Structure 1
Amino acid sequence: MIADYHQFQLNLLKVASNNLLRQAPFNLEELGENEIEFQQQLIALVADLEHMRGDYIESGQQILSRLVRHYPDLVPLVPRDLFWLFGGELLHFMPDDEIEIFQQLDEQRYAAETAGESFNYEESRARLLGLN
């Protein structure tokens, strides 16, 4: 279901956001202007995705692209699912085999929704990524 998929992505973003903001340079007492702006944008992105308001896809692309460019050491804290969700330029940072997996997941989810069947995104994701 769309709600389950949305909630899964939202949870990933919340965890990534919390993890990112606990790391330097975002956890320092004195933050630079860039770090304050990044923090604010990341927090706003979580709220926008939670309420599905604004152009959260474009905002997500911009914020994660900024993360890759300015804080590359923190990129591993962001699940690849979010790169796929926000797409755009972020797809350039994903290898072809990873893109193929997320395409398969989207196709399976869409087919189930079209047929009116339930689809457990998290289980299908774990199976395709070899996590179980």
Structure 2
Amino acid sequence: MADANLDHIMNLLLHLRGILVALGEAEQVPEESHALFLERYDELLTLLPADPIESQYLGQDLLCQVIQRYPQIAHLVPRDLLWFFAGDCLHFMPDDEIDLYTALEERRFEAMENDEPFDWNQEKQLLAMSQSESKH
């Protein structure tokens, strides 16, 4: 896994953690179980950089729990996180979104094979624009 990709995922996880903390501070969730959930979330933040492969199941579990436990913020969960952790997380992505991410991965692997630079966010925007244009 490229360091830039892992940095991107870590930044998204930290962003989501901030949303979760704000949710607890707004007293919109039971405090005790929320605190325990944040402890497990912090465990993922620690484990992921050290062992991205072994952290996959914990990441899948936690992201699915975010959506199930906190439906009021489900729309704020970055889609890149659902794609990165995959597995059960993909159940929360519509087919057209999965198609977009599949095409994005294909472009990324093609760029890697050709030793070309690849900007995930830029390519995602380009693909999203081309998909929306083809629907009109």
TM-score norm. by structure 2 comes to 0.83
In structure 1, what is the equivalent of residue 66 of structure 2?
67
* Structure 2 unmatched runs, 5+: 130-136
**How well do the aligned residues superpose, as a CA RMSD in angstroms?**
1.9
In structure 2, what is the equivalent of residue 2 of structure 1?
2
The CA deviation at 1:54 is 6.6
In structure 2, what is the equivalent of residue 31 of structure 1?
31
**CA, structure 1 residues 5+61, in 2 after alignment: closer, same or farther (shift >3 Å)?**
same
* Structure with more helix by fraction: 2
In structure 1, what is the equivalent of residue 77 of structure 2?
78
Contact 1:84 1:102 in 2 (8 A): yes
1:48 aligns with 2:53: no
Q: Quote the Cα distance in structure 1 between the aligned partners of 2:52 and 2:101.
A: 24
User: Which 10-residue stretch deviates more, 64-73 or 44-53?
Assistant: 44-53
With a CA cutoff of 8 Å and minimum separation of 6, indicate the structure with the bigger relative contact order.
Answer: 1
* Structure 1 unmatched runs, 5+: none
The AA in structure 1 aligned to 2:22 is: R
Deviation per residue, 1:89-121 (Å, 9 max, x gap): 111111000001111111111111112111111
Q: Quote the Cα distance in structure 1 between the aligned partners of 2:83 and 2:53.
A: 19
Report the number of matched residues: 126
In structure 1, what is the equivalent of residue 102 of structure 2?
103
Deviation per residue, 1:4-40 (Å, 9 max, x gap): 22211211111111122111xx224x822x2122101
Q: Runs in 1 of length 4+ with deviation above 6 angstroms?
A: none
The CA deviation at 1:51 is 3.1
